[in-house]
Every structure is written in structure tokens, then in C-alpha cells.
Amino acid sequence: MPQLWSADGVDSIIAGLSAIIGVALGSVLTYLFPVRTARQTQEFARDQQFWRERLAAYSEFAGIVTDFRRSEYDRWHREQEDPHGAPFISARDESYQLRGKATAAMCRIQLVGGDTTLSQLAERALDATTEVHTATDEDDRARRGEKARIALQDFLKAATGHVR
């Protein structure tokens, strides 16, 4: 009786199947690795963009609040000199403009920051700065200014953890 299967024939079939499986596996892996690498590259680029946006928002807020605090000092001093004079009106108008910019910068932090605590610290810094011009005397103005400075420092300390 003739032999249907020989060891050489089985070895050939196994070798052929191994080659087919190897080529198929190689094709799948060749497809998967670039897709995975592309996805990782996109995620890295997105993370970098978010990082840059947060850094820009946090530093813009700090700069504007610092300018706003300076304008609040100026507003308070001009009001002490002459509450109806043109220098006071000009200082008050500048204070209003910077408060608007600071509020917009705070909103940007709320949008890109995604952290409730950080948003609250930004709001606290803005509120403390807004109160500087309501001081009753020079010592009160200095205390309020220091409170505003410390509130901004607290915000910056918290923000640092989000951009490192």
C-alpha cells in the first residue's frame, strides 16, 4: 500500500505553514508598530500643546495681576491726593481695564487648567488685588497689597506643579 504521508512531506508542509504564518505575522507587526508610534507621537504633541497653553495662561495671569496690583496702588494714591482730579480718574480707568484683562486671564485658566483648586487660587488672587484700592489708610493699603501678593504667590506655587 502506498504511503500517503511521509516525514519529508510533513516537514515540507510545516515549513510552508511556518513561512506563511511568519509572513502574515510580519505584515501585522509591520502595520501595528507604525500605527502605535504615530499614536504615541500624536499624544506627545497634544500633551506638549496643552503644556504650552497652560504655561502661557498661568504666566499671563500672573503678569496681568501684578500690573493690576500696581494700578490699584496708583489708584489708591491718586484718590488720596484728589478724589475728583484727572490723575485719579485716569488711574481708576486703568484699574478697570486691567481688572477686565485679569478676569479674562482667570477664565482662560479655568478653561485650560482643568483644576478646581487652581481656579480658586486664581480667583482669590484676583479678589485680593481688587480690594487694594478700598484701603482706609497707608497701613491698610500695604496689608491689602501684601495679601494680594501672597495670594498670587500661592497661585504660582500651585501652578508650578501643573507645568513641570
Per-residue model confidence as pLDDT tens digits over 93-116: 999 999 999 999 999 999 998 789
Query: Do 144 and 151 meet the contact criterion of CB atoms below 8 Å apart?
Result: no
What CATH number is given to the structural domain containing 76?
1.20.1440
Q: Is 157 helix (H, G, I), strand (E, B) or coil?
A: helix
Q: For each of the chain's 164 residues, which pLDDT tens digit applies?
A: 555 555 566 677 777 788 888 887 777 777 767 767 778 778 878 878 888 999 999 999 999 999 999 999 999 999 999 999 999 999 999 999 999 999 999 999 999 987 899 999 999 999 999 999 999 999 999 999 999 999 999 999 999 988 87
Query: Do 125 and 152 meet the contact criterion of CB atoms below 8 Å apart?
Result: yes
> How many domains does the chain fold into?
1
pTM for the whole structure: 0.77
Residue 114 is assigned to a structural domain of this protein: yes
> Does the CA dihedral 69-73-78-84 come out positive or negative?
positive
Residue 31 is assigned to a structural domain of this protein: no
Residue 41 is assigned to a structural domain of this protein: no
Query: Do 54 and 113 meet the contact criterion of CB atoms below 8 Å apart?
Result: yes
Residue 9 is assigned to a structural domain of this protein: no
Q: Which domain holds residue 153?
A: 53-163
Residue 73 is assigned to a structural domain of this protein: yes
